[in-house]
Structure formats: structure tokens, C-alpha cells
Amino acid sequence: MKKLRLVFWTLLVTQLILTGCSQEKVMDTEFIRLKNNVKDIELALKQREDEAVHMSQKLTNLEETVKRQKEEISQLMAASPQAQSQDKHPVIIQDIQVTSEQMDANGRVWGPFDLNITLYNGTDHPIADSVSALIVSEDPLKNSHTPKVEQIVKRFEIGPKESKIVRLEQLPINHPTKRLNVVVKLLENTRAPNNAGVPGKATWVVIPTVIFPPDNP
């Protein structure tokens, strides 16, 4: 009887030990599974953080691209024909008047004359430039069709949004002369010091001349 009880208790204890070991293994397996789940969650969170950083960088790059495109559009608008015209021809010739003490009522000149050239600076900065007058005269006593050409150049400075008269004084008439044309143009159209632009458009002035002075000017 005692032997049977001892065997019973031995079997019971063995069963409990085996059951406890089995449960411990199950708990270890569950712990490993939970630990792996935590690692998966941490990895997923890190991936989302990386994606958020990448998206933020893409947004920053997009903002920079939009800003750069706006600047390019502004530059293109500034380079419109009207703006280009102002850049290339910032100073314009508004008017040219001929004056002389030896001029009749019809504007015929037989002696030295002055050219009064009215210029206008349409920009917001002062400009230093040169104006040129080409005096083209023909001699009626010569058979040659090649006219005589003289050039007079005068430097000027003009302020922003300013009109200014540049005077070329005492320009000679070589006798005898049957026709006298004057071509007035801006030479450089400089936008800023040491920054030359394109030549200005030429303006013609026809001055009626006579071979000899009239008796009653």
C-alpha cells in the first residue's frame, strides 16, 4: 500500500514538473513572439519617420522649385519687348531744332548753325552717354556724287526721368553747298558706367541751305 502511494505521488510530481516545463516553454515562445512584434512595430515606426523626413524634403525641394520658377517668370516678364526697348534705348531723342544768326524765314542757313537736341532719360538712374551728328553736304560745283561727311561728337550726362538739351554749337557750312543733311544719333546708350548698350536710332534733319547769302535775310 505504501509503495502504491509512493508511486502515485511520484507520478503526480513528475506530471506537475512536466506540465510546468511545458507552460514555461509556452511562455518563452509567447515572450519571443511579443518581442518580435515590438521590433516589427519599432521598425514600422522608423520607416514612417523616414518617409515623413523624405516627404518633408520633397516639399522643401518643391517650394524651392516654385520660388525659382517665379523668379524666372519675373525675369522673362522684365525681358518683354517694352522692357528690352527701355534697356536698349534708355535715352531717346525727343526733338531737334536748328538755330542760326544766318537763317531766313524759310529756315535756309548760309552760315554757322547750332543743333539743339532734346533728350529724355526714361530710366530711374543717371546715364552718361554720347550724341553724334553726321553733317552730310554736297557741292553743286563738283560732278562727284560722293558727299562730304563730317562727324561731331559730344558727351553728356542726364539724370533719371529728366529732359535735357544738348547743344552742338557753331557747326560750319562749307560754301558752296546745295544740300545739308544732319544725322543725329546716340552712340552708346550706356545703362551704367562702363556698361555699353546698343547704338541709338538715327534721326535725320534736313537743313535748307543756299549757295550765297540772300540780299535780305
Q: Give pLDDT tens digits along the chain (217 positions).
A: 555 565 555 665 566 555 555 555 555 676 677 777 777 777 878 888 888 777 778 778 777 776 776 676 666 655 555 444 455 557 888 888 889 888 888 888 888 889 999 988 888 888 888 888 888 877 666 666 677 778 888 888 989 889 999 999 988 876 666 667 788 877 765 554 554 555 566 777 878 777 666 665 4
- Rounded Cα–Cα distance for residues 76 and 101 (Å): 52
- Rounded Cα–Cα distance for residues 97 and 117 (Å): 7
- Rounded Cα–Cα distance for residues 16 and 53 (Å): 55
- What was the pLDDT predicted at 116? 92
**Is CATH 2.40.70.10 the right assignment for the domain spanning 90-207?**
no
83's grid cell: 522692357
Catalogue the E-assigned strands of the chain. 91-99, 113-121, 127-138, 148-158, 162-171, 179-186, 203-207
- What was the pLDDT predicted at 149? 79
170 backbone φψ class: left, alpha, beta (φ>0; ψ -120 to 50)? left
Residue 168's nearest CA partner among 205, 122, 125 is 205
103's grid cell: 537763317
Residue 121's nearest CA partner among 79, 151, 92 is 92
Torsion sign (Cα): 97, 103, 109, 113? negative
Cβ atoms within 10 Å of 192's Cβ, excluding its own = 13
- What was the pLDDT predicted at 164? 92
- Rounded Cα–Cα distance for residues 102 and 79 (Å): 48
- What was the pLDDT predicted at 76? 62
* Secondary structure element (H or E) that encloses residue 195, with its range: none
What is the DSSP secondary structure assignment for residue 141, as one 8-state letter?
A: T
pTM given for the model: 0.53
Strands 203-207 and 179-186: antiparallel
- What was the pLDDT predicted at 121? 86
- What was the pLDDT predicted at 40? 76
